[in-house]
Structures are given as structure tokens and as C-alpha cells.
Amino acid sequence: MTAEPRTYEVRTYGCQMNVHDSERLGGLLEDAGYVAAPAGDVADVVVFNTCAVRENADNKLYGNLGHLAPVKAAKPGMQIAVGGCLAQKDRSTITAKAPWVDVVFGTHNIGSLPALLDRARALEEAQVEILESLEVFPSTLPTKRDSAYAAWVSISVGCNNTCTFCIVPALRGKEKDRRPGEILAEINALVGEGVTEVTLLGQNVNAYGVEFGDREAFSKLLRACGEIEGLERVRFTSPHPAEFTDDVIAAMAETPNVMPSLHMPLQSGSSRLLKEMRRSYRQSKFLGIIDRVREAIPDAAITTDIIVGFPGETEEDFLETLHVVREARFSGAFTFQYSKRPGTPAADLPDQISPEVVKDRYGRLVDLVNEIAWDENKQLVGRTVELMVAEGEGRKDAATHRLSGRAPDNRLVHFSAVLSEAASVEAAGEAIRPGDMVTVTITQAAPHHLIADGEIESVRRTRAGDAWDLRQGRAAAPAGVGLGMPSIGVPAPLPEAPACG
């Protein structure tokens, strides 16, 4: 009698690079004969892909490991693995604090996971393997993608910057670039599978090419993406202002499938603090980039990352940050209260700011960011936009009888599921699927999303929608507009943790 295959679950924390790595971990495990655990079941193998940037990341990991200890004790043969940035940093500390962990692996050897699990099971002892340099480029590993229609494509790993608040370069290593031909071959293969949107991913994407000596390699890559038939949307994250050059702006403006959205991390508006952060640019340079992007791409939506309460931040420094927010008019911002990260230079700086002051400044910043984002969104009311229908991004869609999608500028739009007469003809009685394209008119704005409550004006069924159908195990979608879409969706457009840019 054939034994049932072992099941797995990957729990991901942190930025898009971790999401990208988790897709590879899933692919590796399935390639080794594991199957994804059904929702609600306890998996035979639970993998934590950790982050070392988010506040209290270690406490959250050990808390989760603690919850699993009795579960593992009651489930013979269960294994727990810990990888990612925190594993690279803490190494054998993890098994010392949580001896029921079976495998610890680092950011440079995710391809070793299946073998380490086998070895731990055979030897009945924990396996810790942390490499100091990249073993295999993650994008060459098998992949289990969450989305049928959108994909991450890693163009580089590691970072050559030395920002004093960031530990990622120490954990991911120096920048290593993939060759353009390898990247384009992967994108072409993805398009062949039905993917119509890719996000180029790197710790500092616009430094791409430094390893092989081409300073315009990233802009050339964007233009090359424009030549790929069937690729409708190209995005990238995250660039660094110090190395963001005009050839990239030109490539964005002149390549039709490169979307008018840009995530440009600010971190602080104070030139004095930027120097302390080792950010290699100043306020004037940052605002100059924003001005040139808006001149070349008037409809661009620009988002950012901002840290409040960096050591030594004065009220005047904070007011400089508010000034940049007003001038740049971001469509959104990921805002963070500074907290010490062990192993970073900033953790040892004097003049750490009191929590009360940080909290006050943070509240004022969030209020201003939301006010400006709302004002910017209000300017779009009445505008007609083409959306890529998204999966799992509208948590209230079932209750509101709406669907959700992303505009070209990456704004999230919740839209009515009612078809106009013309759209009904185009849909031909079929469901609107994730990956399909619809045209709607914006009727209402909120700080973090838009609403289109009129009828859907047109529907364009796509190969991406066909790919989504195939994932559901059917060749064609059922008649009518589906509202109960599954919760696993397109890669999040922005990180939940500070970008390394």
C-alpha cells in the first residue's frame, strides 16, 4: 500500500523577497513529493520563512514556535523548519531556544531544505546549515506560485548599501545580479503559462548591472520587457533614490507596459538625518527625482517608506519630513516607528528618541499621509480606468457585492459586479475571472482605495483569466459574475516591512 505523501505549510513574514523565496520553498517541497496541507489541517512539515527587519520579529517567531511545541509532541513525525533572515542572523540560537525545531537554514541555501528535512528525520537530530554566500540563485529553483496571472521575478539578491538602520545587507550579502538573458527567459516562460503581470524584484533594483559593469542595465531591462508579446504589465520594487537615474525614468515613460507606479523609499526628509542613515542622497535630490518622474509620467502614483524617531531626530528634522510629504504628494506611504535592530549601527547611536515623542510624531505623519492620499484619490473620481481583476484583495467584496482590481498605477479599486449591456455581450455569459481586464469609472475615493459603483463598461477576457480557470480545474468558468473568489491572491504590491531601498 502506497504511503500518503507528507504535507507542508510555509508561513511567510516580511518583504516581497521573502514571498518570492517562499514560492521557491513550496516548489522545492512539491518537487520532493510533498503536498500542500489542506486549510485547517496541521501539516507534517511547517516552514517559517522569517524576517529580521520587522519589530519584535524574534519574539513573534519564538511565540509561534512555542504554540507548535505541544502540537508537534502530539503528532509523531511532524517537522518544523526555520529559514530566512532571522535564521541567517540567529543560527544555532534557534535550536537552543526551541529544541523541537528540526531544521534551520539561511537565506543563501533555501535549495537545501528537502535534503535537510530528510537528514533530520534519518538522524533524529536538528540540522543547522547557514551558508555565507549564495549557493543557487533562488529564481532557478522550482516554484509554487500563489497567483496564476501575476509573478515576482527576482533580478538580483543582496545589497551593497550600508544604511545604518538596516540589517538586510548583512543577512542577504552583497548584490548579485542575474544575467538579462536569464531574466527575460523566465519572463517569457511565465507569459507562456498565462502570466500577464510581472514585478521585477531586488533589494535595490535600479542598481542592477553593477556586478557586470553596465550602469544602464536596469533601463535596458525595462525596455526589453516592452518587447515581450503578451506581457501587459511590468512593475518593479524597490529602487534607491541615490542611484535612480534619468534613463530609468525615460524607459518607464516610453515603454507602454511599464506601469505608471513607483515606490521610492524616502526614510526621512531631513538631509542631516539622511546623512546619519548613510542614505547617500539629500532632500533636494529626492524631490528632484519626484519632479522629473511627474514631468515624464504625469499620472504616476508614487509611494514611499518613512521612518519616524530615528536616533537624534529633532522636531525640526521631523518637520522636514512633513515638508517632503507635502511636496511629493505620495499616493500612499508605509510609515514606521523606529526601533532598535540588534546588529545595526543605528542601534548603538546616542540620542534614542523617547517612545512618547515617537508616537506623537508618528500620529501626525500618518494623518498627513492619509490626508494627501485621499486628496490625490479624489482627483480620480470620474476617470475611466482599466483594471486587472484581482483575487483576494477585497476582503468585503462578498458583503458589498463588488469585485476588486488594480489600476495601471497600482491603486486598488473595488467595483460593482453589474455588467452594462455592452459588457454583457463581451463577457458572453461567462464569469469575470482574476486576471481578466475590465473598464470602470471611478465614483468615490477613500484614502487607501477607490470605488467604482457604476456598471462595468467593458470586459476583456485574457489568457491570464484562462490560466486562473485551469488552476480551478476547469477549462471554462461558469456563467454569471462570480463573487466568492478564493483568498489566495496576487503578490502584494508593497511590502509590509521597510523596503531595502
Which residues sit in the known binding site for [4Fe-4S] cluster? Answer: 15, 51, 85, 159, 163, 166
CA–CA separation, 285 and 34 (whole Å): 50
Q: Which three cell numbers stand for residue 309?
A: 524617531
What HEC string does 93-128 produce? Answer: HHHHHCCCCCEEECCCCHHHHHHHHHHHHHHCCCEE
What's the chain's Rg over C-alpha atoms?
Answer: 23
Query: Around Cβ 66, how many Cβ atoms within 10 Å?
Result: 12
Q: Quick one: how far is CA 451 from the chain centroid?
A: 23
The answer for residues whose C-beta is within 8 angstroms of residue 105's C-beta and 6 or more apart is: 81, 82, 83, 87, 112, 113, 116, 128, 129, 130
Annotated binding site: 15, 51, 85, 159, 163, 166
Query: What letter does residue 431 receive in the DSSP assignment?
Result: P
How many CA atoms lie within 13 Å of 205's alpha carbon, on the beta-carbon side? 28
- Quick check: helix, strand or coil at residue 491? coil
**Pairing mode, strands 412-416 and 402-406:** antiparallel
Q: Which residue has the cell 486587472?
A: 388
Q: Are 82 and 103 in contact (CB under 8 A)?
A: yes
CA distance linking residue 136 with residue 112, whole number of Å: 10
Q: Is the peptide bond before 404 cis (omega within 30 degrees of 0)?
A: no
Do 320 and 270 form a contact (C-beta atoms < 8 A)? yes
- What is the 3-class SS of 204-219, one letter each residue? CHHHCCHHHCCCCHHH
